[in-house]
Amino acid sequence: MIPVLNWNEFQTDPQAFVTRLGKACRETGFFLLSDHGVPQNLIEGTFAAGDALFSLPKAEKAAFSIYNNPHNRGWTGEGSENLDDSSDQVDRKEAFNVGLDLAADDPRVLAGEPFRGVNVWPDLPGFRETVLDYYDRALALGVDLHRAIALDLGLEEHYFTPHFSAPLSTLRMLTYPPGTGAAGEIGAGAHTDYGSITLLMTDGEGGLQVQPRGQDWADVPHVPGAFVVNIADCLMRWTNDIYVSTPHRVLPPKRQRRSLAFFMDPNPDSVIRALPGTGEAKYPPVTGADYLRHRLDATYAPEPAE
């Protein structure tokens, strides 16, 4: 149901790769991507950085809480989010968000542009360097994947590239505690992602499920070292519903579960409107920043009381 694509094929037989990608994006909205070029030792190092972060005392993590940051950066604890807006069940997970790394004196930061803030960093050796290396490589891969997406949609190969020159993309490091068996418990509630595509790296612990339109929930298979890639709502809007953004969730895992989610959001001033040749627009135009703000405002629960 969820195909495995090999990124090397985009170099050796691009048409075959584009055809397979297009089929996955139209049908399930999910695929696995192997041989993507992000080094395994960097992946393992980024997981280790997350382990070090999440093992800090709560008081230390709270110092860089996302509730104190208007730019979607920093730490969130268990109970901070409710991804399933049809339920009042909050998610059992912790997360840490990193965005495009900007200096404090960057003109966009000084001007207070939406989501243009500085990252916040724990005082952990090598954390910042490792995480930013992973961020940069995931971003480069995501931009390249949009070349294949453009070709599938009959566009010029680099059509999307200018929209990711200084994007709102976020790397989210996640940890889920083992389930307790309580009724209604959820790791991450059913939702669709907000941006263009998501590149998800998991540690192999189960729990991620997908629900293709009109079908039951199904487990997402694990292929060691492969990214789980899914279409998100912004790209579904861009393609005028040619691509599908598919609901997914994380069940409470049997053991601790860790993942690295890289959300490819476009530049804040990119206008998301129906692409040429996709017919009458089903959605009104919206900027990348406005759309992200709208979705985030609906996600976060009120700040937990001490």
Can you give the pLDDT at residue 305? 46
Is the separation of the CB atoms in 200 and 257 below 8 Å? no
Can you give the pLDDT at residue 86? 62
Query: Which two structure tokens, joined as six digits, stand for 256?
Result: 């601790």
pTM score, whole prediction: 0.95
Can you give the pLDDT at residue 183? 86
Alpha helices in the chain (DSSP H): 9-12, 14-27, 40-54, 58-62, 107-110, 127-152, 233-238, 288-297
pLDDT along the chain (306 residues), means of 10: 96 98 97 98 98 97 92 90 70 96 96 93 97 98 98 98 97 96 89 96 96 92 97 97 96 95 97 96 96 81 51
Domains of the chain in sequence order: 4-297 (2.60.120.330)
Can you give the pLDDT at residue 87? 65
Query: Whole-angstrom Cα distance, residue 142 to residue 144?
Result: 5
- Express each pLDDT in 233-264 by its tens digit: 999 999 999 999 999 999 999 999 999 999 99
Query: Whole-angstrom Cα distance, residue 30 to residue 282?
Result: 22
Can you give the pLDDT at residue 306? 47
